[in-house]
Amino acid sequence: MNPSVLLMVCLLSLYVAAMVMLWHGITGQKPEARLETAGRLALKEGQTIVGVVETAQGLAFALGDYVRDEKYG
């Protein structure tokens, strides 16, 4: 057998073995349960969203009643 053909067959078999192991690893995991809020976020009168942070569970909002400048915007 030609050495280049043998090398290609060996590399192909390693690739297939790696893909099978990866596929079994991905399908064997259960998805994480998402943390759901009880209801939708509703701002009270005068409140503003001061900051937003992306976490593993979703978005976290920092609320406040601080207004910089109503004319600025």
pLDDT in tens, 5-24: 999 999 999 999 999 999 88
pTM for this predicted structure: 0.39
Residue 45 amino acid letter: E
Residue 54 to residue 69: CA distance in whole angstroms:
26
SS3 (DSSP) at 64: strand
**CA nearest neighbour of 61 among 73, 47, 46:** 47
**CA nearest neighbour of 67 among 52, 46, 51:** 46
Residue 73 has pLDDT above 50, yes or no: no
